[in-house]
Amino acid sequence: MSTRLTKKLTYDAPAEAVAAMLDDPAFREEVLARQKVRRGSVDVDGDHVRIEQVRSAGDIPSFARKFVGEEIVIVQTETWTSPTGADVELAIPGKPGEARGTLVLHESGGTTTETIDLDLSVRIPLVGGKIEAMVADLFSSALDVEHRVGTEWLAR
């Protein structure tokens, strides 16, 4: 079983500008800073983006904290397959959870919609579905922060 997360982020900019922003390590680092991660790193190498972040598990319900510990390491990998599309993977090293999906940029009339579509899977009997929903909410909130930073970034 898995949980699906679909999120649409709209920017008042052409797809080329949004893609350039997503390819900029300084943008990704600003997003990490605004998401208030404990530690993070960004590596952009051609069509490959790798973001590693360490988050506090302090605000995670106790039933889930016993599976993840006091910190959660999340590794996000994007492999851009075209100027407007990427395969996305989220991994939680050492934990039985992952997400896979796509990121697509679609431009219409100078406005670009970034659509992130992921299937999240946590392979823990009985509580896996609850943890999937929690991870989906966490990632959705992180994308909201990315959208706010992106809107400000593109307005500069």
Closest CA to 143 of 20, 8, 27, 11: 8
**Mean pLDDT score of the chain, rounded to an integer?**
90
- The pLDDT score that the predictor gives to residue 108 is 97
Helix, strand, or coil (residue 79): strand
Q: How confident is the model at residue 65 (pLDDT cuts 50, 70, 90)?
A: low
Residue 32, domain CATH? 3.30.530.20
Backbone angles phi, psi at 63, to 5 degrees: -60, -30
Q: Which domain holds residue 13?
A: 3-155
Asked whether residue 1 carries a pLDDT value surpassing 90, the answer given is no
Asked whether residue 99 carries a pLDDT value surpassing 90, the answer given is yes
- The pLDDT score that the predictor gives to residue 59 is 73
Asked whether residue 130 carries a pLDDT value surpassing 80, the answer given is no
Q: What total number of domains does the chain contain?
A: 1
Could you tell me which residues come within 8 angstroms of residue 45 by beta carbon, excluding any fewer than 6 positions away? none
Query: Can you say whether the dihedral through the CA atoms of 17, 19, 23, 26 is positive or negative?
Result: positive
Structure tokens at 141: 């909130």
